[in-house]
Chain A
Amino acid sequence: MSEPVSASGTVIRRQIKLPFTKAVEISLKSIRIRFWRSMITAAGILLGIAFFASVRMSAVFSHAQQTRVDEKRATLARGGKLSAEDVILINSAAANAKEEAAAGTRLQWLSIMALLVCTVGITNSMLMSVTERFKEIGTMKCLGALDSFIVKLFFIESCFLGFIASVLGFVVGWLVISLIRLAMDGVEVFGPYFWMQSLRLCGQSAAIGTVLTFLATIFPAYRAAKMPPVAALRAEV
C-alpha cells in the first residue's frame, strides 16, 4: 500500500515497477485487440523473411545438386558406369554452373534489400501504432508508468510479432522452394545435408527477423516513451 510522502522531506521513495510477466500480458493483449493491424505488420516481416529463406534454400539445393554431380564425376573417374540420366545431369550442371552462380549473388542482394524494405515498413506501422495509442500511453504515464515501461511494452510486443512472423516466413519460403525442387529433381536431394541446412536456416531466419523488428521498433518506442502525460487529457485523437 502507499505510504504518504513524508511531510518534511523532499525524499520520495522510488519504487515504481512493472514485472516482466505483467508486461508480457499487456503486450499480448495489445496484439490481440489490434489483431488485424498486428497481422499486417507481421505480414511485412513474414514476406521479407519468406523471400530471404527461399533464396537461401535455393542455394542449399544448388549446393546439394553440385555435391551429387561431383559424386557422379568421381564415380566416372574411378571408371564406374553411369546411367544415361546421370550423364544428362552432369552435362546440364556444367552448362548452368556459371549462370546459377551469378543469379545466386543477385538474389542474395535482392533478399537483403527486401529485408531492409520490410524493416522500414515495420518502423512505419509501429509509429502509426504509437499515434493510435497516444491517449493510452498518456494515461499509463498518469498512473505512474515510467518511460522504461512504455519502451518495454513496445519491445515485447514487436519482438513477439517479429519472432512468430519470421518463423512462419521461413516455413513459407522453405515449403515453396522445397516443393518446387521436389517436383524438379526428385527425392534424392533431400539428404541429411538438406535437413541440417534447413534447421540452421530456420534459426537464422528467426534471429534476423526478430533483430530487425527490434531495430525497427527502437525509434517508435522512444517516441512513445517521450510522450508527455498531458496527451492523455486531449479529448480528440
Chain B
Amino acid sequence: MANEYVVRTKDLVKEYTMGDQTLKALNGVSLDIYRGEYISIMGPSGSGKSTLFNAVGGLDKPSSGSVFINDVDMAQLDAQELAYLRCHTIGYIFQTFNLIPVMTALENVTLPTVFAGMSTDEGVERGIELLELVGLGGRLHHKPSELSGGQQQRVAIARSLANNPSIILADEPTGNLDLNTGKEIIDLLKSLNKDQGVTIISATHDLKMLDVSDRIVWIRDGQIAKVEERKDLDIRIGEMEGQEALH
C-alpha cells in the first residue's frame, strides 16, 4: 500500500572536519517528500544541496539524523540491502550522464535489470520499451560516444527507470546541456512524473526547473531557507529573447 511520504529526513546533520575546524554542510534538515511529487532542491554552490541529495540517495551517510525511504531507515541497512535499495527503489540521473562507455544504449539500460535478476530476454524487452518511451527507439545499438548530450541523458533517464523505481534522483540533469535540450529533458522528466507517478527529486541551479516542480526547496547554509509550492510562485521564467528564432 502506498504511504503518503516516499522520503522523509529528520534533523539531518552532516559535518566535515577540515583541520581543527568542523564544517556543518547540513544543519538540521527535516524534509518530507510526498509520493508522486516533483521536487526541486535549489541553492547556490556550497549550500549543502548536494550533501542533502547524497544523503537522500543513500550515497553518503549523515553524521546524525535519519533518512527514511518508504519508511525504511537507511541507517539500518547493510551493504547488500543498500545495494538492493539503489537497484530497485531509486533511479539516479547525473549531470555528466555517466553511461558506461563500453556498452550500447540498450546494454546500459539493461544493466540494472541484470543486477535485479531479470532474464536477458525480459531485460532487453524492458530496455527497448524504455528507450522507445524516451524517444530513442532508433538508437538502441549506439555507443554513448555516438550520441549527443541530450540523447545520452535520455538513455540515462531510461536506465534510471529500468527497475520501476519509486524515486528518481536527478543531480543537475540539465547542467551539461544547452537551453533547448535542457528544456526537452525537463519536459521528459515531467511527463514521466505525471504518467508513471514516479517521484522526482532534482538538485539544480536551473530556473527552467521551477516551472514544472510541485515544490521547490531552497537550501542556504545547510538549512532549509524556504519551501515554496509552485502555485504560490510568481516567477516568470519567460523565453529568452531570440528563442523563437531558434525554432
Chain A residues within CB distance 8 Å of chain B: 1-5, 7-10, 12-19, 22, 26, 29-30, 32-33, 135-136, 138-147, 149, 228-230, 232-233, 235
Contact = CB atoms under 8 A, between A and B. Distances in A.
Contact of A7 (B3, B86, B117): B3
A236 to B, nearest CB: 9
Contacts of B154: none
A5 B80 contact: no
A2 B79 contact: no
A156 B123 CA distance: 23
Given A5-B88, A140-B100, A233-B50, 14 more contacts: A2-B87, A2-B89, A4-B89, A8-B71, A12-B81, A17-B117, A33-B101, A33-B102, A139-B100, A144-B84, A144-B87, A144-B112, A146-B79, A230-B59
Interface of B: 1-3, 50, 54, 57, 59-60, 69-73, 76-77, 79-81, 83-89, 92, 94-96, 98-103, 111-112, 114-118, 159, 163-166, 171
Given A2-B163, A144-B83, A144-B86, A16 B115 contact: yes
21 contacts: A2-B164, A4-B89, A7-B1, A15-B117, A16-B87, A16-B116, A17-B115, A32-B102, A139-B94, A142-B86, A143-B92, A143-B115, A144-B88, A144-B115, A144-B116, A146-B79, A149-B115, A228-B59, A229-B59, A230-B54, A233-B95
A230 B60 contact: yes
In the A-B complex, the 3 residue pairs with the closest CB atoms: A144-B87, A2-B88, A29-B102
A8 B1 CA distance: 9
